[in-house]
Structure formats: structure tokens, C-alpha cells
């Protein structure tokens, strides 16, 4: 929604999990097998939160595959991508026109330089995603926050030192899919939002009728999410806000026998939990997905994974998801999330800017 552009104060590891369930479709896999990450230094890093939990041996057919799938957004609500090029992107967030670094914009901008000059905010400083920088306001000094709306949900945009503004709009496509699934379910679905950040996805799900568990390791992110909830007068919606390491949470949920109908997981490439827990995507992702599989309900609607700033093909997470979901039926669709330029009017399609890899299991 890159490691994603680093989130302020986030000790990136969070999320709920559930007790190893016996899958009604395939039976609980018999022999646990130690993952590669459980050997050597990776085992030491994960030991504090996952001691004794090994990967399940999955049996049965792998789900049908749909590849490559490109999920594209032209923008929604108060956001659209105006133009991009020369390593930057020109975006509209509500009343503000913003310039931020974008390494994948290798081409020349389409719009004239004078349009790029008429902006409200420009992120400057260290363009490295791990670094911090500052905002420059060419017209007038702006406040730290301002109201935005996506998919009918109000939230706060915020100028942070990590160049992001509190929402990753490429995720609109996943949120729209989730919103439709919740609304069509005919029953309250339980949604787990791991690494939930500022809570926009959680608010979208809850507003559609879901019971939501939102997990993030950053107290600052949880506080921001609660601000967003209050901004939209959505305090009565059924959302549990949990500040905890993601792996710890889902392992405990697994032991408890908890189940969720939809799980969104958006892990960073590297991070630390609130108590120093270490997260390495390539080492710990197989186990995280394995636990998520165990806490999916027998009538689950989907499991969604997005991955930012990793040197890998989408096929790497696609094949991992198919192996994880062996015997569950359904399909795994994987590819990229892209945002298409929409011009000054927000309606004129231009070039597609790739933002992240994704893989999504659906029951049919």
C-alpha cells in the first residue's frame, strides 16, 4: 500500500493469527517440517516468537493458478496519480498536489514543467526508503494533517518524515475486493488486518459490515488509526485495535483456535516488534502464511499478501501461496499492483506505475 516507504515510529511486525485449525476440506497436515528459516541465524531471530512452531506438511492438490494478474487503480475518492517521470510522481491528495520520489518512474514526465511547479508540497532529502527527509511547501506552510476520503471512509493525511502520507492507494483494489466480499457474504465476516498501519483498510471492512481485528506493532500507527476512526464518527464499529508483534499475535490465535474469514497481510521486508522481535520477510514469511492458513475459517473468503521492495518475481510469493494452500481448493492469483496516471482531471489514463507484488488466495 517498498520495505514499503518506512512508516514513522513503526517497529514493523504486527498481526493476528489463530489456533491451528483442522481444515474441513483437507484435514490437518500430518508431519511438521522445519523450514529453512528455522536453521541457523534465522532460527535465532524467530525463536522468541515461534519457538517450537514448524511448518506443516501440506497434502492435496495445489489451488488453480491465475497469473499474471495486474490489479490496476486509476485512483479513487480524494486520490489520483497525475503524472510521473524522472524518478518522481505527481499526486493529488484531496486539495493538495504533492511531489514524492519514485525510483520506478524511469520515463520523462508527460505534463509541462510549469504544472509540476504548481504544487503544494515536495518531499526532499534522502530518497532512500530507509532514510528520512523533509517536506518543502512552495506556496504556503501547511498543517501536519488534512482530511481525506477513500471508498467512503474518512481519514487523515499526514506529512511524515518518511515521505508517505498515511495511505498506500494502490491497495484500493484489495480494499474494494474485500468490501464487496463482506457486503455479499450474508453474514458478518471476521477480518484480520495484519501490519494494519493507519487503519484505512480496517475502517473500510468494518463500514461494510465486518468484525475487524487490526494489528500493528507501532503505538503511533495505532493512535493514528484511532484518530481516523474518530474523524469519521465510526467509534461504534466492531474493530479491535491491537498493538503487538504480528507473529506473536497469530501464533497465540492459533493456539486459541481463533478463525478469520479474510486475512490481509502486508509485511515489511525487515522490521522489529515492540519487544525487539526480529522480522525478515524471506526467512519468516513461509511460517507466517502457514499460521494464517491454520486460522482461516472453513468458509474463508480470502487470504491476501502484498510485498514491497523485494528483489524477487511475483512467482516467488505465488508458488509459496499455492504450496501453503494445498488441499484448500480455490485459486491463487498473483501479479502486481499498479496505479495508472490519470492526468490533471483524474480521468485521463496514462502510464502504469508498478507499486508492489501481491498474491491472493480465493475459495473459487
For the stretch 207-263, pLDDT in tens is 999 999 999 999 999 999 999 999 999 999 999 999 999 999 999 999 999 999 999
Q: From the DSSP assignment, how many helices (H) and strands (E) are in the chain?
A: 8, 17
Of 37 and 296, the structure prediction assigns the larger pLDDT to 296
Cα–Cα distance for residue pair 164/308, rounded to 1 Å? 14
For the stretch 76-93, pLDDT in tens is 999 999 999 999 999 999
Its pTM stands at: 0.85
261-300 burial code (b ≥16 CB/10 A, e <16) = bbbbbbbbbbbbbbeebbbbbbbbbbbbbbbbbbbbbeeb
For the stretch 55-74, pLDDT in tens is 999 999 999 999 999 999 99
Q: Tell me how far CA of residue 236 lies from CA of 83, 211, 302, in angstroms.
A: 39, 11, 25
Cα–Cα distance for residue pair 270/2, rounded to 1 Å? 11
Q: Please state, rounded to an integer, the average pLDDT across all residues of the chain.
A: 87
Contacts of 304 (CB under 8 A, 6+ apart): 174, 178, 262, 263, 264, 265, 358, 359, 360
Q: What is the pLDDT of residue 51?
A: 59
Average pLDDT over residues 157-169: 92
Q: How confident is the model at residue 270 (pLDDT cuts 50, 70, 90)?
A: confident
Average pLDDT over residues 166-187: 96
| Largest separation between any pair of C-alpha atoms in the chain | 64
- Say if residue 10's pLDDT is above 80: no
Q: How confident is the model at residue 46 (pLDDT cuts 50, 70, 90)?
A: very low
For the stretch 14-28, pLDDT in tens is 433 333 322 233 333
Cα–Cα distance for residue pair 163/135, rounded to 1 Å? 8
For the stretch 112-139, pLDDT in tens is 999 999 999 999 876 554 557 899 999 9
**Strand partners of residue 192:** 213, 263
Contacts of 239 (CB under 8 A, 6+ apart): 199, 202, 203, 206, 212, 213, 214, 229
Of 215 and 48, the structure prediction assigns the larger pLDDT to 215
Amino acid at each position: 500500500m517498498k520495505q514499503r516507504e518506512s512508516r514513522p515510529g513503526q517497529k514493523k511486525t504486527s498481526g493476528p493469527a489463530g489456533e491451528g485449525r483442522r481444515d474441513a476440506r483437507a484435514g490437518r497436515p500430518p508431519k511438521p517440517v522445519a523450514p529453512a528459516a528455522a536453521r541457523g541465524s534465522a532460527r535465532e531471530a524467530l525463536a522468541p516468537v515461534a519457538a517450537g512452531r514448524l511448518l506443516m506438511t501440506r497434502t492435496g492438490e495445489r489451488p488453480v493458478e491465475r497469473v499474471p494478474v495486474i490489479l490496476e487503480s486509476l485512483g479513487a475518492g480524494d486520490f489520483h496519480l497525475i503524472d510521473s517521470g524522472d524518478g518522481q510522481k505527481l499526486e493529488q491528495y484531496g486539495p493538495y498536489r504533492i511531489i514524492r520520489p519514485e525510483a520506478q518512474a524511469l520515463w520523462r514526465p508527460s505534463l509541462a514543467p510549469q504544472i509540476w511547479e504548481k504544487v503544494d508540497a515536495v518531499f526532499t532529502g534522502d530518497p532512500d526508503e530507509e532514510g528520512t527527509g523533509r517536506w518543502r511547501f512552495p506556496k504556503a506552510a501547511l498543517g501536519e494533517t488534512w482530511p481525506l476520503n477513500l471508498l467512503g471512509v474518512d481519514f487523515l493525511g499526514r506529512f511524515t518524515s518518511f515521505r508517505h502520507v498515511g495511505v498506500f492507494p494502490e491497495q484500493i483494489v484489495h480494499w474494494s475486493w474485500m468490501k464487496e466480499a463482506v457486503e455479499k457474504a450474508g453474514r458478518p465476516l471476521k477480518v484480520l488486518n495484519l501490519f494494519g498501519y493507519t487503519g484505512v483498510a480496517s475502517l473500510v471492512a468494518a463500514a461494510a459490515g465486518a468484525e475487524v481485528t487490526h494489528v500493528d506493532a507501532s503505538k503511533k500507527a495505532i493512535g493514528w488509526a484511532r484518530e481516523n476512526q474518530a474523524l469519521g464518527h465510526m467509534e461504534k464499529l466492531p474493530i479491535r485495535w491491537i498493538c503487538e508483534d504480528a507473529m506473536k499475535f497469530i501464533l497465540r490465535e492459533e493456539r486459541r483456535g481463533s478463525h478469520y474469514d479474510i486475512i490481509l497481510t502486508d509485511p515489511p521486508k525487515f522490521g522489529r516488534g515492540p519487544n525487539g522481535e526480529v522480522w525478515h520477510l524471506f526467512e519468516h514469511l513461509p511460517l507466517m502464511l502457514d499460521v494464517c492458513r491454520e486460522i482461516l475459517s472453513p468458509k474463508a473468503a480470502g487470504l491476501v499478501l502484498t510485498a514491497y521492495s523485494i528483489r524477487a518475481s511475483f512467482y516467488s510469493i505465488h508458488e509459496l501461496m499455492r504450496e501453503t494452500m494445498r488441499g484448500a481448493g480455490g485459486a491463487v492469483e498473483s501479479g502486481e499492483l499498479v496505479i495508472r496516471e490519470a492526468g490533471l482531471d483524474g480521468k485521463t489514463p496514462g502510464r502504469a506505475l508498478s507499486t508492489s507484488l501481491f498474491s491472493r488466495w480465493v475459495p473459487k
